[in-house]
Amino acid sequence: MTTLSALISERPAPQTLFQRLWATHWLLTLTGALSLALILVAALGLAVDPRVITGAPAWAKPMKFAISFAIYSFTLVWLLGFVQGHPRLVRFTATLTAIAVIAEMAIIILQAARGVRSHFNFTTPFDATLFGMMGNFAMVLGLMNLLALILLIRQRLPDSTFAWSLRLGLVIALVGMAVGFLMTSNITPSQQAELEAERQPPYLGAHSIGVEDGGPGLPFVNWSIQGGDLRVAHFVGLHGMQVLPLIGFIVTRRFANSLSERRRTMLVWTAGLGYLGFVLLLIGQALRGQSIVAPDALTLAAFGGLFVAVAAIGALIVAGRKAQSN
């Protein structure tokens, strides 16, 4: 049986992980490294710039996006390292992702330096153009994520359990990305009033539902504590790219000798569908205008039911092995 370590190192690997990522695609790896450096730039901005944008320090958003893009860039180039036989498509996917990430970060930093909002900003033609560009680059990121998913679906890997964890992680990340488009179509009451008066609102679209953006929020992430916030599902969905491969790794290592590959894959699928269900429930909670810190009985019941169902199915899969061995 092919071990997980053999799968991970099936390509001739350089001595370090960073060297392997660099060998897969140097520009996307460099983009991840630059994003890490921008975290320090944003930290300096937080220390010396007292300005506030939409209820948060001006440089909080650049820092959050720098962290997110660093994680995303390194994860995607790592995933693309498993694709063999399609070097041009790998380069195409990684190059366009790197360009989109660099462009998005440049716009976010520029707007923070100007002391204005980067998202949903239609205050001036220049601001509207920049936000439109961000939307286009976000679409590029989504399409390249989809292309990476297709490449991994077509790629035959020795361990199907771990392979499906990679694919399902990308599927869930796509759902998380799609939440961003819900934000652009989320019209707040004040924006609706402007539109009904046949005026162009200075801002069109929002993270929050039921309340205006910029109100009281959780520390750092600034997710609303008074209404729904689509950023929660957006965040959780995007990080499926890291969570599902980690689950695949744990399942493969923990049950390598006690469960068949088929049952290990069933466990990963159960975890993946459960994670996807969690993201969808977070979307539903936000659309109902409900804060993540104030779930009602219906929300608690839905989350509890999902947890019980996933745990029960997982237990049945493991118990099935014991019944067969008897």
Q: What is the pLDDT of residues 298-310, one digit of tens each?
A: 999 999 999 999 9
If one compares 26 and 256, the residue with the highest pLDDT of the two is 26
Q: How far is CA 154 from CA 21, 24, 171, in A?
A: 21, 18, 14
Flag whether pLDDT at 152 surpasses 50. yes
191-204 pLDDT, tens digit each: 999 999 989 999 99
- Residue 257: which pLDDT band, with cuts at 50, 70 and 90? confident
Q: What are phi and psi of 185, to 5 degrees?
A: -100, 5
Give the list of residues 6+ apart from residue 66 with CB closer than 8 angstroms, or none. 35, 36, 38, 39, 41, 42, 105
- Would you state the structure tokens that stand for residue 40, as one six-digit string? 């320090």
Q: Which domains does the chain have, with CATH numbers?
A: 1-158 (1.20.120)
82-133 pLDDT, tens digit each: 999 999 999 999 999 999 999 999 999 999 999 999 999 999 999 999 999 9
- Residue 326: which pLDDT band, with cuts at 50, 70 and 90? very low
Instruction: State the Cα–Cα distance between residues 57 and 221, nearest whole angstrom.
Output: 11
- Residue 189: which pLDDT band, with cuts at 50, 70 and 90? confident
130-148 pLDDT, tens digit each: 999 999 999 999 999 999 9
**Chain CA centroid to CA 271, Å:** 17
**Residue 15 pLDDT:** 57
37-72 pLDDT, tens digit each: 999 999 999 999 999 999 999 999 999 999 999 999
Flag whether pLDDT at 321 surpasses 90. no
In degrees, rounded to 5, the angle at the alpha carbon of residue 117 between the alpha carbons of residues 101 and 145 is 25
Query: Is the dihedral angle over the CA atoms 109, 114, 116, 122 positive or is it negative?
Result: negative
